[in-house]
Structure 1
């Protein structure tokens, strides 16, 4: 009796040992989105940067966030099974090339399928090297990134170079995928957003961006986020896959074929990254160009880490980067200047929270940075162009730094595993 009581006590006390942190569940995600939107609306009113939540801004942010989100979703599949996938960038590159190669010849949806296949081939190669042969995951991922660049450059020389409208560094134009715009509602929301009312116009701008010029492939990508959550957290298949990333020895002792689930997870991971690459080539630009991924595979990995290896949190991270990147492209210095005020307010909230937690050193550092940003915003009208270009990356680093303390990766993520090692 005493042993069982002790076990129960240890079990019930376990969550408190980690600090009692709340999981990033759907209600919390919705609360974060609502609070963030109210804060952005306040900054828009103060700064006069009315494009912060315009229909075009939200639509552009969504288009920029989707490839990052798909790469992050791919990383989540692999790492939940215990395989670190640094090769997401290379798998995206394969997706862009295969998607464009098939897309300009046989149509955009065929290009999407081939983009997924191209990325999945990269994922399969990563699985063979890491799972079967036990090569270090980081080394394998970096090798795939290098291999993808060289392979696509070589293939372009005798495919796109000979095609009409193409060259050794870009493909011919690809037909567009059907876009959805809800007539009537789209115009009404655009008019409401143009009135620049506090919060109301911002909500109209966000919703309007979701119903104006929305590609069908964007809809598919958005549905993959709850789809991934359901598969990995609500099915027996997902439970077995996640057990491979937490304790593969225990999973094997219960009859789980760990190798099989790792292979499936990493191949799916590559396919999702390839889909992100195909989106870049077919939807975002309508053409393949060498180097067009621009490090989005790495940023997707950062978004996944920010989201604590959960689909909803990952989507928030991808959306944040897409938003800041869209600000840079649409409004340049004016919008990024308004972001200085937004970051300063966020840091003020961080100061209050750290004081509540009695973390005085962290509060002091945050207060100094916030004061510097307030002064920068007050005494300038714009920011240097170099800072505008770096704003999305700086934002990503700040968010990762602020969220680092609550992160918990799968316990066996990146650790070598050999079949039968628990016997």
Structure 2
């Protein structure tokens, strides 16, 4: 009798939706294939700046705040709390980071930026976890509140100070940057030869080691740190259980409220760090509206990454890359991306045919043909499309990856303490 009860209480093993995870050799093969394809597009189109040192360095700088926001969203949603308020928490991070950075130096600005985001995250946790308000409503309210609060505070903190106004801060001292001497110059020279694949690899590596802010290094290290904490520690297991089945977690003695509070507060701190990065590293100044929707894009990157740190980083990098294409070379670089996208869709056609999804294959084939036609009949794309390219890329990637997504089962589901008793 006791044995049968124990067996019945034990959950059945899950098969992971029938999908096998990508092994390291497969991932490396995909990366190598992607680099070869980009190099081929560069040679055909003549857009030599696609994988230059400056291009990659700019893409990394643009991707970091998006990635930090996405990492913040991952912490919250893995605990079952939808965090639409990432944009507002980033705004708080930009303001507090700039204010403290101007007063006491850039690293104090980083600390206060994190604290500013944590305040927003804590407020979101109180509203959603304790009072049970709809997560979307709470997040939107925090976004609106953050804009009003920072605008009000700027009138007292920055207005009347030399270099400041009610909409911007004075200049902030920069954080030190590192460059590997010798190696950086050699890679830059190698990239300028424009050889197939070799120059592209040199440009990518050179961009990652040239003029690298110390805060960028910290941000990059947070990605594997998050993976280790959430997937390799008992703390992370308990936190993720709150996002999958809080009732079951409670029956096992997990304080669900505590873990949700921790997750959402950390989420706000990471978004605040992204905001501080924008103010201190990316621009060196606080300006009203400088987040530019990056909190929402970070949320999209997290969804694209299937609520996993590595996939989220890939999504943030993709957006940063397309955004830097717009800033460096503009129409020529984006025009080359039409060819890259057309070739990728041809690959998608064969993949869909292999999976016997004939309708999807037909749609991909039609879109690919249109992109090939657009590319070969024009020399550049309209300036409006150049500006919209990062956002269009985000929408396309999300639509193509939607079939494989699996969000935490209890994400956004109201929970009340005692339901597991």
TM range (shorter): over 0.9
Q: 1:243 aligns with which of 220, 241, 244?
A: 241
Match runs of 1:203-218 below 5 Å: 203-218=201-216
**Structure 2 residue aligned with 1:402:** 400
The Cα shift of 1:39 comes to 1.2
Stretch moving more, 394-403 or 25-34 = 25-34
What is the CA–CA distance in structure 2 between the aligned matches of 1:55 and 1:90, rounded to whole Å?
A: 33
- Correspondence for 2:195: 197
The correspondence for 2:319, drawn from 312, 318, 321, is: 321
Structure 1 runs (4+) deviating above 4 angstroms are: 10-14, 24-29
SS of 2:418's equivalent in the other structure is coil
* Separation of aligned partners in 2, 1:254 and 1:149: 41
Which SS does the other structure have where 1:138 is aligned?
helix
CA separation of 1:262/1:202 partners in 2, compared to 1, >3 Å: closer, same or farther?
Answer: same
Give distance in 2, aligned partners of 1:25 and 1:79: 26
Secondary structure in 2 aligned to 1:255? coil
Distance of 2:22 and 2:233 partners within structure 1: 20
Look up the match of 2:51: 53
Is the CA contact 1:29–1:313 (under 8 Å) kept in the aligned structure 2? no
Unaligned runs of 5+ in 2: none
**Alignment of structure 1 residues 10-409 onto 2, 5 Å:** 14-15=14-15, 20-23=18-21, 28-409=26-407
Q: Could you tell me how far 1:31 is from its partner in structure 2? A: 3.8
Shift of 1:162: 2.4
Per-residue CA distance 1:49-82 (angstroms, 9 max, x = gap): 0000000000000000000000000000000000
C-alpha displacement at 1:25, in angstroms? 6.1
Contact kept? 1:232, 1:238, Cα under 8 Å? yes
Cα distance per residue 1:55-114 (max 9 Å; x no partner): 000000000000000000000000000000000000000000000000011100000000
Distance 1:27 1:71, change over 3 A: farther
CA-CA distance at 1:45 after TM superposition: 0.8
Shift of the alpha carbon at 1:23?
3.1
CA shift for structure 1 position 185: 0.4
TM-score (norm 2): 0.96
1:153 and 1:27 mapped to 2: Cα distance?
Answer: 50
Q: Deviations over 1:302-361 (max 9, x none)?
A: 000000000000000000000000000011000000000000011001100000011111
1:165, 1:113 → 2: CA distance?
23
Residues in 2 aligned to 1:118 and 1:25: alpha-carbon distance in whole angstroms:
39
Figure out how many residues of one structure are paired with residues of the other and give that number: 417
Gap change, CA 1:259 and 1:24, over 3 Å in 2: farther
Q: Distance in 1 between matches of 2:398 and 2:329?
A: 25
Q: CA deviation at 1:36?
A: 1.8
Cα distance change, pair 85–339 in 1 and its aligned pair in 2 (3 A): same
CA distance in 2, matches of 1:217, 1:27: 31
| Residue 164 (structure 1) shift | 1.5
1:24–1:312 Cα contact (<8 Å) kept = no
In 2, Cα distance between the equivalents of 1:405 and 1:226?
26
Quote how far apart the aligned CAs of 1:249 are: 0.5
Separation (CA, whole Å) in 2 of partners of 1:224 and 1:206: 21
Q: Distance in 2 between matches of 1:46 and 1:35?
A: 17
